[in-house]
């Protein structure tokens, strides 16, 4: 059987930078003067202490230092033109991935698209990406699990290449959320706009994808969603009125989810390494999502992994969903960490709830 892995990486972030000074002083005052009331509606609030929470000591060590920061540790975010096309950014990241893989658009056999905010409700962004790139007669389909989408796409694409049903699969993860981000809300400080992309193709034997761990919890399906401010809980096709914002239709579920914020990645990654018979010390790189700046370091700490092996770009981009995995792989490459044969672990969990982890042996070149 063929071996498959990532053969090209691409990333796009808009030029406009939004710093913390974009929020008015009233936002900061409200945070400090009405903490208890805001905690009840803040879907990103992390309890200072909860003895019933798995890995409580890691929360205290890594999360609590940010508890008095109304910006949750975010410093800079990239913000796309709200009047521009979402597809343009997706296509730019995809084009960079093709360039990195040294293949032409006509050599792409399939496009897998994930977009936290699509250009249209229907179809997915996949056909538009194919058109803008000039891929020709290529299917572009939606493969959606939001912040875990990069790993989901990787597993599916590798399966297609390994089976011989495709040669090159282009995977795109679009996180352009600020068009619907209401800056009055406590969680508004988290989000940046960016797009990640990668090409999956055949790699030399002994390289590529090794193992995958996945799971989910459907009881948390309404915890994180696009919510209607005027009609909470409304379904989009009936009696719903905007504006739509990143939010929740089940705040108690959000509170349950935040208690699992570290257990999900740490246990999933432990299971991944165990299934592959690999030790933590053998990992060269851990690339994860980065909803908050302390997430990656806390996960590395929980695994017993040096934080230097879990690069983060949160300070530059803030929370960029599944696109963070590509951003952090590129950061690892820049640091010289993506050596040929290096063991690389990827992790993401996303709305639904889905959780996905994958282990790769990195390849510098296609087969």
Phi/psi zone of residue 259: left (φ > 0), alpha (ψ -120 to 50 degrees), beta?
alpha
Lowest mean pLDDT among 52-66, 186-200, 246-260: 246-260
What confidence score (pLDDT) does residue 367 get? 67
pLDDT at 322 over 90: yes
pLDDT of residue 242: 79
Query: Can you tell me which residue has the tokens 């939004």?
Result: 18
Nearest-10 Cα torsion for 183, 185, 189, 192 = -70
pLDDT score for 105: 98
Q: Is the dihedral of CA 291, 292, 296, 301 positive or negative?
A: negative
Q: Is the pLDDT of residue 195 over 70?
A: yes
Sequence-distant (≥ 6) Cβ neighbours of residue 316 within 8 angstroms: 76
pLDDT per position as a tens digit, 230-251: 888 888 898 888 789 998 888 8
Q: What is the pLDDT of residues 59-113, one digit of tens each?
A: 999 999 999 999 999 999 999 999 999 999 999 999 999 999 999 999 999 999 9
d(CA 33, CA 53): 27
Burial of 98 from C-beta contacts in 10 A (0-12 / 13-18 / 19+) = buried
Mean pLDDT, rounded, of the chain: 95
pTM, to two decimals: 0.96
């Amino acid at each position: 059987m063929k071996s498959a892995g990532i053969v090209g990486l691409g990333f796009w972030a808009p030029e406009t930078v939004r710093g913390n000074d974009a929020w008015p002083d009233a936002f900061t005052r409200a945070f400090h003067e009405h903490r208890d009331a805001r905690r009840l509606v803040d879907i990103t609030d992390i309890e200072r202490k909860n003895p019933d929470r798995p890995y409580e000591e890691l929360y205290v060590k890594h999360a609590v230092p940010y508890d008095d920061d109304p910006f949750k540790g975010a410093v800079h975010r990239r913000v796309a033109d709200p009047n521009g096309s979402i597809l343009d950014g997706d296509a730019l990241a995809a084009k960079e991935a093709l360039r990195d893989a040294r293949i032409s658009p006509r050599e792409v056999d399939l496009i897998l698209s994930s977009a936290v905010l699509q250009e249209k409700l229907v179809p997915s962004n996949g056909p538009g990406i194919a058109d803008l790139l000039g891929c020709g007669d290529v299917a572009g389909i939606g493969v959606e699990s939001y912040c875990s989408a990069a790993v989901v796409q990787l597993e599916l694409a590798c399966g297609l290449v390994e089976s011989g049903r495709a040669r090159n699969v282009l995977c795109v993860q679009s996180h352009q959320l600020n068009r619907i981000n209401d800056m009055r809300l406590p969680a508004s400080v988290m989000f940046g706009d960016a797009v990640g992309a990668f090409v999956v193709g055949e790699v030399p034997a002994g390289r590529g994808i090794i193992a995958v761990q996945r799971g989910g919890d459907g009881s948390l399906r309404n915890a994180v969603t696009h919510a209607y401010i005027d009609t909470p809980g409304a379904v989009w096709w009936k009696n719903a009125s905007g504006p739509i914002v990143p939010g929740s239709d089940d705040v108690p579920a959000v509170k349950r989810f935040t208690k699992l914020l570290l257990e999900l990645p740490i246990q999933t990654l432990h299971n991944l390494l165990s299934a592959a018979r690999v030790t933590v010390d053998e990992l060269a790189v851990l690339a994860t999502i980065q909803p908050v700046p302390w997430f990656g370091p806390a996960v590395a700490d929980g695994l017993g992994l040096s934080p230097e092996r879990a690069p983060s770009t949160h300070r530059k981009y803030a929370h960029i969903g599944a696109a963070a995995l590509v951003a952090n792989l590129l950061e690892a490459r820049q640091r010289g960490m993506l050596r040929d044969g290096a063991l690389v672990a990827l992790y993401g969990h996303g709305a639904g709830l889905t959780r996905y982890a994958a282990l790769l042996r990195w390849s510098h070149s296609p087969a």
